[in-house]
Structure 1
Amino acid sequence: MLDDLDRALIHALHLDGRAPFSRIAEVLGVSAQTVARRYRRLRTEAGLRVVGLTAPDRTGRAQWLVRLTATARSAQDIAGALVRRPDTSWVKLTSGGTEITAVIHAPAEDASPGSLLLRDIPRTGGITAVSAHCLLHTYLGGPAGWRGRTEALDERQQRALEYRTPAAGAGDGEPPGPSAPSGPEYVHDTDGIRQPGREDAELLAVLARDGRAGQGELADATGWSPTTVARRLAELRATGALFFDVEVDAALFGVRTQALLWLSVRPADLERVALALAGHDELAFVAATTGRTNLVAQALCRDPADLHRYLTRRLGALREIDALETSPVLRTLKAGSPAGVFRPRTLLP
């Protein structure tokens, strides 16, 4: 359903979500107009989206993976309410459609799951069970997620498109400019670069909706000059606090079966098993969690038989796994960006 150029463009955006179309075109050997036209088509017909996201480990935020069991009558409404919240991502209907799995983002000043778990969910009718799992460490995911969409470009092309931090004091080719506003709410890392603070909120909000928003749009949203916007973007990317991801329906790559895997591993073997899982091409996400299970992963497979082979052969070979629960993913309602709804679509011929 995707041709070679489509796959190459998606791979290029995975390497640098804000790469100019002219640079992508040069590496792919086509015109910039062709790249722009393909990008617009993928956005319209395949639901492709580049989004700017902040890294929790660099911004002091905590993430909680929540499993809700609801009555069949209320599950869809509860899932829709979670999608509309600005502090959630990866909202999925799992199992028989009566289980909802979502990630809750806790603010930097509060490592707890906040009002959603402590106040809102207990007051919601139709929910019959809740379990919350703090994500302790991510071994696979984010900018280094599923490798099935990053197989189109050769090593030379990948090197040419990988994002490189601009020289100090400049961003995206812009000359040095004044720093963005600073204040006591900012946290400095060892290099003295400000981590995201309240005054970055407008910049990050636009990027969460559209990671390829132009400098002019970002300048209008923040009230900064385009030069200041470019410099601040370069700072945040240099520290790893901001990264760009690509949201696209995995079905376009032949994935018809998805599942969340909840694993129990002996603590002494947790690191070794997690690193082994992070090397599996079938997985898009691997993280250590709190709770009755201590590892969670997401598998993307061609069909149920492919998932069965993965579970019995690759996972079955890891003797350190004591228990495994498999939750089929029926539908993804919201992807990695807290802003906006994930709309998987079928690419037209």
Structure 2
Amino acid sequence: MKTITKALYLLTVLIAFNGCGGNGKTGNIKVDGIQSKVQKVLSGNEIELKNGLKVQILGIKPTEHTKDYLEKQVKGETVIVIADSRQKQFIKSYKTKVKTYVKLKGEKYCISGKLLLNGTADLRQTAVHDSLEHFKAYPNIGGGRPPMSQTELLTYMKPATFMVYCQNEGLGTGFFINDNGLALTNNHVYDGSQNAVICFFGDDGKLDATNYRKINRVLYTVRTGEKERIDFTVFQVQLDNGEKVRYMPLIKQHARDGEKIAKIGCPLGTSLCDFQPGTLSHYNEGYFTHNIPTNHGDSGGPIVNFKGEVIGVNQSIDFNDVIREQAKGIAYGVDAVLIRQVLDENNIQYGR
């Protein structure tokens, strides 16, 4: 299994750096190198160019998440078509359909490779011959996920994040850490003592009250005290038969003080997916401070770096005890490295 997993990772990376080539002339228009604006998104892995060419993007499985990405990040942009040697090399007319890789003009990574590396798409193992050959020219590949833009990060985070509704009408935010429904939030949001459900966000960023799942059971929960800042619950969401969910991996090593980070949360009373960027301020023992604007309802939500790795769980806000106002710019997160250690010690299987 480890060999298969490693091979799939290599295919993911090599698709990102895909090269091209081949022969077999059947028309007078060379597919490789065609440039045009994306006029329409047809599905989660198909686009139509302004010149009339329809392109099925190799290497990714089409989903609503990949379609959303193409709509927001690729539509209207100029792309370069990259042919695979086992597919068409020449066409008679642009009014046809081809299977190729596609790259945004001026970018290093192919679209399919970028979606695979940041976890938005799943690998479709078809026609990766040229990528495999090209991979040999990149012996030092392996630096992990490429950084994302803010809009890419929001698109990536949204399907893995949800609102937690408790029986006592308390609420907060939570997120998945594997595709089988394992999730995290704060203990003060949900401690397992009452019934609760989670609600997903719709494509418009608003909570969809009709799309909910029950919380099945709590696997681990801890709250060390109001001033200790270590406050989280690991729980299992009851998914439909065969259902898989998007999730975000926990970081393996601490991010650096001053690094760009971001959060998604559900500020109380808005029922909206609220995305805010910021900066990691300082690590402490088991928690860290950050300057992301945070409100009640954001508790339990993910704080990630710009590679989409979870660095912590949004935990609390400081208040001025004299005037009882929110202390601007002082918020806390539970350290994801600590959470990884707890999961490992308790043999709880999470996404890697």
Which TM class, normalised by the smaller chain length? Answer: under 0.3
Greater fraction of residues in helix: 1
Larger of the two Rg values belongs to structure: 2
| TM superposition score normalised by structure 2 | 0.26
| TM superposition score normalised by structure 1 | 0.27
Which structure is richer in relative contact order (CA contacts within 8 A, separation 6 or more)?
1
